[in-house]
Chains A and B, each alone.
Chain A
């Protein structure tokens, strides 16, 4: 007990910082609005808060907050592989911020999922009632376990400053956590895509594929470096923390290799199923697919392996195109590819937008708070240089 008391005192005594800026005030406003809408949704149900309907049972929250959110948070496990398993210490500078973004991303995904399920008080049910034939079962377990693992991984960072006597314990547990923290995302990043294999006569053939799981996994891996490019550009401005171009360029090239493999798999699969001609059909689906591949994969691959990746501008362009392309891909699977089969109409309601934007705002605010108080952007090696 006395030990716990010491911990609480330590937390109370620690000098917490949170600088107020105009941007942060706007984020707080958006976050507040989101929270109000979330409470309204929980109190009144999905029908009054959303535009979801019997033809479109999944909408913005599943499509964007969950499917896209998890993929964009894929930078965490990707970095864990490169830095902590392969020990490429060159990339240590970005490891912590990438893994923090991932942790926050997953917490937001959990919040988004909680908003979307109709019987939210029943969310724990699959822990005891095992529907193991469902791909969603794998997603549920792996996302839950991975979020727990990430919180524990973050413990190592927190205990540097607060609760320092537990630091050695977390440090020792870290290698095991890292390996677990790669297995779980590998499984659920792919199973998020594999949710759609059962919709074989619904999802448009350009996106439905027996390999859709592998494609989701690969894209979640190569979007990691892209997100790091965007994130370091933003955080670099806000926290005056510049990551060397060579570090980013190395990551972008790793991503580039996987993007080429991804393209290869896509076209092999389309050819094997004899649907390549659908790309040039001139319909909505064909054009959206073409835009997704050219803007989100082909052009960025060119940037990665040309001299453009030597400049910050080139790296940011790469980051925006690849992240945007991934969002585009997930939206195409959830909406464009399903629209012909589902029919009817769906566009997110104002409240659905407010909740999604609110969740992202909360994520940004928490990131800022943590970055100000813990060693995220400045690693031990460079400590004392700034902040």
Chain B
């Protein structure tokens, strides 16, 4: 069954241990610290950073409170990036649900970066032969960075001390999410990732608006690959139909020309 992670924003204390463990597990180099919005650092995911904890100061009933949310690849159930890759360098693993990257197949066109509704894939801009960088859900068919196949949770979840991150079966996590929402009125009545773009493996619940952490509000529930399919499905019909029509027109108009210029007895040249 497809795995998932439930992120409870109300339980996150912003310690960033998940960020550190991600870098350690995946051998990602550290950088000189750089902060935005107070404590968010680095400002966003990048070529060396698969996950970032985003901070936001929010006003609640006259009090200022800090809220933080870990962001990384959502591991969509119908990933736009996988459908957008024209070299099959991105793949959704059917068993775990992880969306993983095969660097040797990548051409470096960066269409996945534009197709992703959550702006997740990043690029190693400073390298001569750059690759895409994104969270692999600690799943690795090559084994080196694998945790999921060994029955272990992703490194970030394993290191979370407050229970803000919970790893498990997606179906069960979804039930748990609604249980928490229904038993505590301070939660927003929505599980982000339940239906967005066809649903995601990572699910978020929160007591502050999700837009505070950069989730765009207008993303529909329709899986994004369907939009491309609605276009591409006409390709064979157009190729065959248009080709036939052109061939017929070619012979018809050529014959018409010949008949018209028969008195001239001159051939129609191309």
Q: Please give the residue numbers on chain A whose beta carbons come within 8 Å of chain B beta carbons, in ascending order.
A: 43-48, 52-55, 57-58, 81, 84-87, 89, 116-123, 125-126, 129-140, 156, 171, 174-175, 178-180, 182-183, 186-187, 190-191, 194-195, 197-202, 210, 213, 341-342, 380
Contact = CB atoms under 8 A, between A and B. Distances in A.
B124 to A, nearest CB: 8
Interface string B108-137: 111101110101001101111111000000
Given A45-B126, A131-B86, A175 B253 contact: no
B126 A197 contact: no
B114 A133 contact: no
A135 B131 contact: no
Contact of B85 (A52, A131, A199): A131
Interface string B88-118: 1100000000000000011111110111010
A122 B107 contact: yes
Contacts of B246: 81, 85, 179, 182-183
B32 interface: no
Contact of A135 (B228, B253, B256): B228
Contacts of B127: 45, 47
Nearest to B253: A87
Contact of A57 (B88, B123, B231): B123
B250 A175 contact: yes
Contact of A197 (B82, B109, B218, B227): B227
17 contacts: A47-B127, A84-B270, A86-B249, A87-B256, A117-B107, A118-B130, A118-B131, A119-B131, A129-B88, A131-B87, A134-B86, A136-B84, A137-B86, A175-B250, A175-B270, A180-B243, A187-B238
B204 to A, nearest CB: 17
Contact of A134 (B84, B126, B249): B84
A53 B114 CA distance: 12
Contacts of A135: 84, 228, 231-232
Contacts of A139: 86
A140 B86 CA distance: 8
A202 B229 contact: no
B46 interface: yes
Contact of A186 (B86, B238, B250): B238
A52 B123 CA distance: 10
Nearest to A47: B125
Given A53-B125, A195-B111, A213 B231 contact: yes
B250 A54 contact: no
Contacts of B28: none
B65 interface: no
A47 B127 CA distance: 7
A121 B105 CA distance: 11
B87 A126 contact: yes
B131 A131 contact: no
B18 interface: no
B114 A202 contact: yes
B46 A117 contact: no
Interface string B222-248: 001101111110010011001100110
A122 B108 contact: yes
Nearest to B247: A179
Given A53-B125, A54-B122, A58-B114, A198 B83 contact: yes
A183 B242 contact: yes
Contacts of A201: 117, 216, 218-220
A94 to B, nearest CB: 15
A-B CB proximity, top 7 nearest: A118-B108, A47-B125, A57-B110, A137-B86, A45-B128, A134-B86, A131-B86
A52 B47 CA distance: 13
A129 B249 CA distance: 36
Contacts of B230: 197, 210
Given A47-B126, A178-B250, A199-B114, A136 B227 contact: no
A54 B123 contact: yes
Contact of B228 (A54, A130, A133, A190): A133
B123 A87 contact: no
